[in-house]
Structure 1
């Protein structure tokens, strides 16, 4: 049996966040059922998702008719209607679905979602705001944080390490960051090794504490 049949995902709410999740999952090879109360959104994404349905998922009976218990996971991407968001998570939890992801807009919303059965709560607007703030540093080209301290970033190679192999520049000892890989113009991504020499215009993928990455990018 293919992965596509093994990992069906239910996405409830086809706004910007929910649609992005659903379309990405579909591209990754999952069967995706997209559900929304807005008929316009259901029709818009019908050609791009495995199946779309217009329905209100705040009731367990509706979710039963949709076969919610047959899905490996559910994403509740309802953001503006907090009551509908919470009731949908509660209904999924009452049906015994354990792998529930839910979008939250505030910390109090998140706490309620967690208490009603959401195992994973995300703040997409907050995370994007933090990412944009870090990317305002002109040398940072991409940035993903893990918790409050650790991150992986893509950045322009700082002048201080140009022309040197990594074993000589000693990025980890001197700057607290690990160079994971190098992207050179016209070449494939290179996994960094001690003998890797850094040239002008190289883009580096580095990991480390956020403060250390920011300092390293500006040296």
Structure 2
């Protein structure tokens, strides 16, 4: 399957520690196919029954990554823990292969800066971005996601076509989708409160609030 297809629901997760394992299982729960990779056979075995595919491999080896088909994925997560060299080398190889969307776990802000410098598209600090939250970002159209409490969330996404060029009061998004548009941001401008008279334009970023599943469904309309 060509990796530029938007319906490619496969994710490569490298590193099956606590963070990578949690993320992988959450993605599977959301209907994604996950190839989980680790150089520790015990970790791989622990997730063999819960993930789509699991493989023992050294991902600092270019040939090993290519045999896994890493270059065919649109999304990859480098969730390697405390081994900085392995994290950096693996991320660098994925960048060289042209993987379009790479998330990389950092154990410090310095580590995170290095990952960004070598080309990681998104850097995750575990104390700020836990597996469940990142799963929403990897698997959907949301630009950010925060669960305020159980089953209620805020989602940052692009304004979907059905509300573009119309007053929010006319769109009836609350009754139709169970969400409320609480804020909006136009290119080059700051976020501002959304009102019933607000008219979203193409490319606008919006923040919506509602039950978790409603926020997820609305984000997919984009």
Same fold (TM over 0.5): yes
Q: How many residue pairs were aligned? A: 145
SS at match of 2:49: coil
Unmatched runs of 5 consecutive residues or more in structure 1 = 129-145, 156-180, 182-189, 193-203, 206-219
**Cα distance between partner residues in 2 of 1:66 and 1:117:** 21
CA deviation map 1:157-216 (0-9, x unaligned): xxxxxxxxxxxxxxxxxxxxxxxx9xxxxxxxx767xxxxxxxxxxx97xxxxxxxxxxx
Moved over 6 A (4+): none
Q: Residue 35 of structure 2 aligns with which residue?
A: 33
| Aligned-residue offset at 1:6 | 2.3
**Cα distance between partner residues in 2 of 1:66 and 1:58:** 12
Find the partner of 2:22 among 9, 20, 23. Answer: 20
Q: Residue 47 of structure 1 aligns with which residue?
A: 49
CA RMSD across the alignment: 3.3
Q: Residue 91 of structure 1 aligns with which residue?
A: 93
Q: Residue 107 of structure 1 aligns with which residue?
A: 109
**Cα distance between partner residues in 2 of 1:84 and 1:24:** 24
Q: Residue 153 of structure 1 aligns with which residue?
A: 148
Q: Is residue 37–residue 56 contact of structure 1 (8 Å, CA) maintained in 2?
A: yes
Q: Is residue 98–residue 117 contact of structure 1 (8 Å, CA) maintained in 2?
A: no
SS at match of 1:6: coil
**Cα distance between partner residues in 2 of 1:32 and 1:93:** 19
Q: Is residue 19–residue 79 contact of structure 2 (8 Å, CA) maintained in 1?
A: yes
| Bigger-Rg structure (1/2) | 1
SS at match of 2:12: strand
Q: Is residue 60–residue 95 contact of structure 1 (8 Å, CA) maintained in 2?
A: no
Q: Residue 73 of structure 1 aligns with which residue?
A: 75
